[in-house]
Structure 1
Amino acid sequence: MYDVRRLQTFAKVIELGSVSDAADELSFTPSAVSQQLKKLETEVGLQLVWRTQNGLVPTEAGLVLAEHTRRILRQLAAARADISDLAAGRVGSLSIGAFPTTAASFLPLAINEFNSRYPNIDLSIRSARLNKLISSLEEGEVQLALLWDYPWNPLTTEGIELVEVFTEPFVILVPQSHKLADRASVKISELATEKWVARGDDHPVVEVIERSGSRAGFRPQISMYANDYQETQAMVSVGIGIAIAPRSALSVQHPNVRVLEIEGTPPQRRTLLGQREERALSPLEMAFKSVILEQGALFASQQSGS
């Protein structure tokens, strides 16, 4: 295998046609350049240059080696650039986990911003429920994951490091024909006689409904368990019941549903970014985390102002 430094020296000599000029360019002495050429010729087993009155010219073997050397040096330069980009987080792949509500609302905004800064990153997204996201993090199927919890029941999982992205309030959904539809806000106690549309499959929003009712002194009557928030809105729009939802669940609002703020202290949901504790984030992961936190603060500001 030929020595790369000798190949670089040889390429410069061929380019300039002079040992002294190549030495000046490379910050070597002419003697050092000549020694490099002799050692390379020994490695190759053939003479590589002819010495003429007009300088050095390549032999036939020198021409062949010079062409390959130029190609090798270009590839090495490309490799250095690619490694530099990878180290700086400018290229690579990244797998992100997210729960469905944020995957349909906040995450696309963050991805747009991330893509504008890092257009050559191959992003893959896995949308799943909380328990699956945690196991995906633990098993290395995703590098980072957007998770959630409630302030009264904070998420604590051994081996997972969490940072808050934003906190958002729950709001009340009523049909446009409802007696409260013209209101901007409502007290939970005013909803004691209402029927509720909740999420099915043991969705945690049921706990929010029950806690809210309990604090206001009543037990909510649930008339339907919906599969998702779009179905929830559809059933609210036709009067099956009212509903409660985190504000980000309404990224696409049903035209026949009205949204009311909750007076007093509304229930809150936190969106968190999780990573495995034992591993340091790569530059690419750090870049994505930075964008998520930055966009989370902006998203929370927009939510509170809406």
Structure 2
Amino acid sequence: MLDVRRMQVLRAVVGSGSVSGAAGVLGYTPSAISQQIAALEKEAGVELLERVGRGVRPTAAGLLLSEYAEAIGRQVAEAETALADLVAGRIGRLSVRYFATAGAGLVAPAVARLRERHPGVRIDLRLARDVEDSLAEVREGRADLALAVKGEGGGGVRLVELLEDPYLAVLPRGHRLVGRRSVRLAELAEEAFVGSEWPGPCLDAQIDACEAAGFRPRFVVESEDYVTAQGFVAAGLGVSLVPRLGLGSRHPGVVVREVRDPVPSRTIHAVVRESAPPQPPLDAFIEALREAAAGATGTS
């Protein structure tokens, strides 16, 4: 196998036209240069230089290896530059998993911020159909970050809290409470409820708040979709609770009011692998998510 460092010595000899000239460029003695060339010729099994007067010139094999050495030198320089850019966070690749309602309100503005500040960082965005699957991807190193509601740390992952996303009351127009700026959760105790969530931490946040207010919601429709839930509410089939991030498009037949005493809320986290090595692009993206979260809650 050819020694790459010796090939660079050959390149210096060919470039300067003499062993002494290469020694001056590289800071070696002429004897050391000659020894390196002799060792490289032994590895190659062919002569690489021939004497011409007081200098040397490459044989065909020597010229060939010198050209490859020059190409290798360029690639090493490019690799060093790319590595420095990666360490500094100027380039890189992130794999991100997110759930639907976090897409428009958090992920989209965060990606826009990251692209503006770090245009060399590429992001692989995938909508998570199953939160547990996305968390498993983070634990196993197949994804760098996932967005999740509630959850617990440990098990190889670390939670970074981004925001509290409060639930709002969605009422049909003409409802007895639409004249209020906000409604107490207990005032909805006797109402029929239109479900807006799949079973899981988001639905749990609704139910826990209702139970804290002294009742358990009576679901008459399970839509498990915010837009569809608004349609059922507009038709007069009940009231619903929808998180602020889920109210991007409001049905003209509903009225939305804040809820208090208590405020149902879901906590949105960024989930990262606990043992992951430092990644400046990941840190920059988490910061962009925090800024997007501050903007979504009006605290920016």
Normalised by the length of structure 1, the TM-score is 0.79
1:184 and 2:178 equivalent? no
Q: When the two structures are aligned, how many residues end up with a matched partner?
A: 299
* Structure 1 gap segments, 5+ residues each: none
From the superposition, tell whether residues 296 and 233 of structure 1 become closer, same or farther in structure 2 (CA, over 3 Å).
farther
Residue 196, structure 1, aligned to residue 167, structure 2: no
* One-letter identity of the residue aligned with 1:105: G
1:199 CA displacement = 2.8
Runs (5+) with no aligned partner, structure 2: none
Map 1:57-206; keep pairs closer than 5 Å. Answer: 57-85=57-85, 93-116=93-116, 117=118, 119-121=120-122, 123-149=124-150, 155=152, 158-181=155-178, 183-199=180-196, 201-206=198-203
In structure 2, give the amino acid aligned to 1:24: G
| 2:277 paired residue number | 282
Q: In structure 2, do the counterparts of structure 1 residues 65 and 138 end up closer, same or farther at CA, with 3 Å as the change threshold?
A: closer
Aligned to 2:297: 303
Counterpart amino acid of 2:128? S
1:239 deviates by: 2.9
Instruction: Classify the secondary structure of the residue corresponding to 1:288.
Output: helix
- Describe the shift of the 1:45–1:171 C-alpha distance in structure 2 as closer, same or farther (beyond 3 A): same
Displacement of 1:127 after TM fit?
0.6
Q: Measure how far apart 1:299 and its partner are.
A: 1.6
**Counterpart Cα distance in 1 of 2:176 and 2:26:** 84
SS in 2 for 1:174: strand
- 1:223-250 CA distance string (max 9 Å, x none): 3111211212222233332221221122
Deviations 1:94-130 (A, max 9, x none): 4333333223431222233334415343514241344
Counterpart-to-counterpart distance in 2, 1:56 and 1:45: 19
Structure 1 residue 79: deviation in Å? Answer: 4.2
Cα distance in 1, alignment partners of residues 244 and 232 from structure 2: 18
Partners of 2:72 and 2:133 lie apart in 1 by 47
In 2: Cα distance, 1:24 partner to 1:167 partner: 66
The alignment yields a C-alpha RMSD, in angstroms, of 3.3
Identity percentage of aligned residues: 34
SS, match of residue 297 in structure 2? helix
Kept after mapping to 2: 8 A contact 1:198/1:205? no
TM-score w.r.t. the length of structure 2 is 0.81
Shift of 1:5: 1.4
Report if aligned partners of 1:103, 1:127 keep a CA contact under 8 Å in 2: no
| Mapped partners of 1:209, 1:297: distance in 2 | 26
**Are the aligned partners of 1:95 and 1:126 in contact in 2 as well (CA < 8 Å)?**
no
Give the aligned residue type for 1:281: A
Q: What letter corresponds to residue 168 of structure 2 in structure 1?
A: V
Q: CA deviation at 1:264?
A: 4.8
Corresponding residue to 1:247 among 244, 247, 256 = 244
